[in-house]
Copies of this chain bind each other. A is one copy, B any other.
Amino acid sequence: MRPTVNDIAREAGVSLATVDRVLNARPGVREKTIRAVNDAIVKLGYVRDLNAANLARSRNYRMAVVLPDTESQFVQTLAKALTDAGSIAATARMELRLLRFPAEDPHALAALLASLPGHGFAGVALMAPETPVLRDAVRGLRARGLPVVALVSDLPNTGRDHFIGIDNRAAGRTAGVLMGRFLGGGQPRGSERSEVLVLGQSLLARDMIERRRGFDEVMLRDFPGLEVLPSLETHGSSSTLRQVVVERLASAPGVRGIYAMGDGNRALTQVLDTMGLSGKLTVICHELTPHVRQALEAGEVTAVITQNLGHLARSTLRVLRAKADNLPLDAGQEQIRIEILLRENLPPAPDSASDTPAEADDAA
């Protein structure tokens, strides 16, 4: 049997009350006694039964997840993954509150964050671009004891407790090798020149920059025979995307591959379709949204670089909780992997999952 507080008390030759004082860092215990108790803890290999402890203090973990109010399919999918994970974690005394902020308003975000400590939150997960105001807001939260984890896009200079997401530079590199190898390693195909088109909604966003850097890194080093054209900006607008793609493909007939770094994959496949190019180019994009899944199955998209959003959501909950309890993490479990999805290794659609919340009756 695992040792309990009573065993510690006996071993240390003190009373239960004293063990409790030491365990919970309550004042009024001599240094010497503290040491005696800690020695006993080490000797017996005591570990607090977190479940019993939480039961006793009837603790519940209320966490805030702060996302931009963007309507993009990625954010939508992420929000759903988080909600799903949250409703399952409800049995583990966790409560998730999804909060949205105006995507382009750092000050509104800062104000939102500042209001959190008053509402009994035990931690915050945050997906937002790093700005000076945000840095201060995050520092403020941490100063008040709230752990903060960055979601999807890192906030390296804010002192956040953890980052949950992929290394975008490595993701870009991965896209690069795939593109290079899928296009035959850069060997010229007949007399044509092979070119690759790169799309991104904004060249200022940190993740876009990193993906592009990683992509170029590999293309330059390993596939000098392929020419990567300058990035085209879509600004998140479908019409802009359509326009620039049509324009570019007309002027550059040697384009054999497209790397779509950001959103707007739906518009992209549509353009290609109307141009009669579906399935004729190597198209690599990011994030497995419902539409992308469909395009992958149809052969309109060749490969998808993605992070498993279900995993990301569950990881968020686990990390928030571990940070709230000041417990160590299982690094391997929290490592979000850069997944390569082809039509052949596409996991089955989550579908309208098993709605039955339980086997209901416990009866045998």
Contacts and interface: CB of A to CB of B under 8 A. Distances in A.
Contacts of A171: 345
Interface in A306-358: 308, 310-311, 314, 326-328, 330-333, 335, 337-340, 342-345, 347-348, 350, 353-354, 356-358
Interface in A214-234: 214, 218
Interface in A16-66: 23-25, 38, 47-52, 54-55
A158 B249 CA distance: 56
A88 interface: yes
Interface stretch (A114-122, A179-187, A235-243, A259-267): A179-187
A191 interface: no
A140 B181 CA distance: 51
Given A362-B23, A362-B24, A362-B326, A354 B342 contact: no
Contact of A350 (B48, B181, B331): B331
Contacts of A51: 51-52, 54-55, 92
Contact of A55 (B55, B333, B350): B55
A182 B183 CA distance: 8
Q: Give the number of copies in the complex.
A: 2
A176 interface: yes
A58 to B, nearest CB: 8
A211 interface: no
A53 to B, nearest CB: 10
A71 interface: no
Given A51-B51, A55-B55, A91-B47, A335 B362 contact: no
Contact of A330 (B55, B88, B338, B343): B88
- Chain B CB within 10 A, most for which of A174, A310, A340, A345: A345
A102 to B, nearest CB: 31
A119 B189 CA distance: 67
A214 B347 CA distance: 16
Given A55-B51, A181-B182, A331 B354 contact: yes
Nearest to A327: B358
Contact of A359 (B327, B338, B339, B363): B327
Contact of A333 (B47, B48, B176, B310): B310
B177 A344 contact: yes
A293 interface: no
A286 interface: no
A247 B340 CA distance: 35
A332 B310 contact: yes
A364 interface: yes
A361 to B, nearest CB: 7
A339 to B, nearest CB: 7
CB-CB nearest 9 A-B residue pairs: A51-B51, A338-B345, A173-B344, A340-B340, A25-B363, A174-B345, A310-B332, A184-B184, A174-B344
Given A25-B364, A177-B344, 5 more contacts: A174-B344, A177-B342, A178-B342, A326-B362, A338-B345
23 contacts: A25-B361, A25-B363, A50-B91, A51-B52, A51-B55, A51-B92, A171-B345, A173-B344, A174-B342, A174-B344, A174-B345, A176-B344, A184-B187, A214-B344, A310-B333, A314-B333, A327-B358, A331-B350, A331-B353, A331-B354, A335-B347, A335-B348, A338-B345
